[in-house]
Structure 1
Amino acid sequence: MEIRKFSETDLWKPVRDFFVDKGYTVRSEVKDCDIVAIKDEELIIIELKKNLSVELLSQAVKRQKSADLVYIAVPKPKKLIGNSKWKDICHLIRRLELGLILVSFKGNNGIIEIPINPTPFDRWKSINMGKRKRENIIKEAKSRYEDFNVGGSKGKKLVTAYRENALFIACCLERFGELSPKKLRELGADERKTTSILRENHYEWFSNVKRGVYIISDKGREALKEYKELSDYYYQKIDDAFKGKVKQIEEK
């Protein structure tokens, strides 16, 4: 997070003055708490830090054992707000039921912004908001034939359901030569996606030799070598499960 060079003490006055203006009695450095604000029986604890960190979040969560509300106050970042990383951080803060105070300066005047208030987190609302993503995850997982990726790996091409389907088609074309989408489906290619995979030819693995008939391209053959484990699996699957259909297709 790229921010101006602040010390935690620079944040103290604007935050203190904000809560004083709201009618709270404010005291600083009370029992290891940076700032406490009290009004009637309500106790608020505010932790000041130069940047957001796991340590800060952990410290703030511990304060929830004693306080009614807990805020974390940090300098307002210049570039992070609005991007996906910032949204993820804000989601985590809401999930932990913490408040977020952003402090910036115009001259010597401190400016306080509170994008997140410490309110109870509605997990079911969050789940409903992510319903489409949940459905897509389940659909993708169920659409894959086997688990050919290594969890936690980076910088490698992932074997997605789409890539699996394309590789299966490539295996069929390499095994039997020219085939139509209909014949590929008879061999076990995806009922709904085969035609679009061939037509879009996203990986350039196929060549259209005549209307409605395809062969494997040189790039397709290279892909079969690159994904040898998966292509061998498909070859075996074709030979074992579709012997009768293979004979019929070869005779046509």
Structure 2
Amino acid sequence: MKDIKETDLYPPIHKYFTDLGYQVNGEVKTLDVTAVKDDKLIVIELKKNLNMKLLIQGIKRQRLTDQVYIAIQRPKKTFSREWKDKLHLIRRLELGLIVVSFTRKTPLVQVICDPKPFSRTQSMNRAKKRQKGILDEIKERSGNYNVGGSTRKKVMTAYREKSIHIACCLQCYGELSPKQLRALGTGDKTTSILSKNFYGWFERMRRGVYDLTDGGQQAIKEYALIAQHYQVLIQEKEKEITKSENSL
């Protein structure tokens, strides 16, 4: 990326807004750039890179006008998750974003987003499916086995728990079919977990019948506390089945 100075952003942005019919000025009462047309005031704050100082400057300028842009040199990675998250924050702050590319002879100005009101309701509605997934995940976990803020550690998910439950059943009874496992309480996703075999814990012995691999045996030892929880459930389920059969 070409090494530029903050002032290098000014000429292309000046030309961009001038071409749109605005009167453009630099450094007006601590404002980096102003653009005025028909009493409409636009404020643009310049920085080489997107940072907290620039965001704070931007929201301070919103006391003067709701048309505030922050302008930066176009970064190399504009398709990353981090960049998308930054754009979400900018929109959430109701700021506009301008990027200037210096890869050509003539700098290219691009308005990524205009300043406009942010609707939390619309944002939450778009995330309804994800919210449901979070609530389902919490509901399907048997307990709180993770430490918040942990990184580079295996997270105990509902999926992993279900896999441990199945592994415990196979350890206890040997080869079983998905139907037999569901009867022991392993849930509706049993067939999918066995066929995908994401962790490599299960082995298909013959059509519709599975057993535990050495990796599965090791997993039961590794997750001994959770395995103990499901071993107790299996015993309770076995008693329940036996009681039901005796009552017939």
Scaled by the length of structure 2, the TM-score of the pair is: 0.88
Q: 1:95 is matched with which residue?
A: 92
Stretch moving more, 22-31 or 97-106:
22-31
CA 1:68–1:195: 2 relative to 1, 3 Å:
closer
Q: SS of the residue aligned with 1:45?
A: strand
Q: 2:157 is matched with which residue?
A: 160
Q: Identity rate of aligned residues, in percent?
A: 48
Q: 1:5 is matched with which residue?
A: 3
Could you tell me how far 1:119 is from its partner in structure 2? 1.3
The count of aligned residue pairs is 244
Could you tell me how far 1:231 is from its partner in structure 2? 1.1
Give the one of 121, 124, 133 matched to 1:124. 121
User: What is the identity, as a one-letter code, of the residue corresponding to 1:242?
Assistant: K
Could you tell me how far 1:28 is from its partner in structure 2? 1.8
Give the one of 183, 188, 202 matched to 1:186. 183
Q: What is the CA–CA distance in structure 1 between the aligned matches of 2:38 and 2:210, rounded to whole Å?
A: 78
Q: 1:76 is matched with which residue?
A: 74
| Unaligned stretches of 5+ residues in structure 2 | none
| Unaligned stretches of 5+ residues in structure 1 | none
Q: Does 2:194 correspond to 1:198? A: yes
Q: 2:167 is matched with which residue?
A: 170
Q: What is the CA–CA distance in structure 1 between the aligned matches of 2:19 and 2:232, rounded to whole Å?
A: 75
Q: What is the CA–CA distance in structure 1 between the aligned matches of 2:134 and 2:161, rounded to whole Å?
A: 16
Q: Does 2:17 correspond to 1:19? A: yes
Give the one of 57, 72, 97 matched to 2:55. 57
Could you tell me how far 1:243 is from its partner in structure 2? 4.7
Is the Cα–Cα contact under 8 Å of residues 66 and 115 in structure 2 kept in the other structure?
Answer: no
Q: Does 2:34 correspond to 1:36? A: yes
Give the one of 208, 220, 227 matched to 1:224. 220
Q: What is the CA–CA distance in structure 2 between the aligned matches of 1:103 and 1:142, rounded to whole Å?
A: 47
Runs of 4+ in 1 over 6 A off after TM superposition: none
Q: SS of the residue aligned with 2:13?
A: helix
Q: What is the CA–CA distance in structure 2 between the aligned matches of 1:186 and 1:86, rounded to whole Å?
A: 47
Is the Cα–Cα contact under 8 Å of residues 187 and 245 in structure 1 kept in the other structure?
Answer: no
Q: SS of the residue aligned with 1:5?
A: coil
CA 1:104–1:204: 2 relative to 1, 3 Å:
closer
Q: What is the CA–CA distance in structure 2 between the aligned matches of 1:155 and 1:167, rounded to whole Å?
A: 21
Residues 193-251 of structure 1: per-residue CA shift (max 9 Å, x gap): 11222233222212333443332221101111221221122223333x325146579x9
CA 1:75–1:242: 2 relative to 1, 3 Å:
same
CA 1:60–1:244: 2 relative to 1, 3 Å:
same
Q: Does 2:239 correspond to 1:244? A: yes
Is the Cα–Cα contact under 8 Å of residues 175 and 210 in structure 2 kept in the other structure?
Answer: yes
User: What is the identity, as a one-letter code, of the residue corresponding to 2:97?
Assistant: L
Could you tell me how far 1:47 is from its partner in structure 2? 0.6
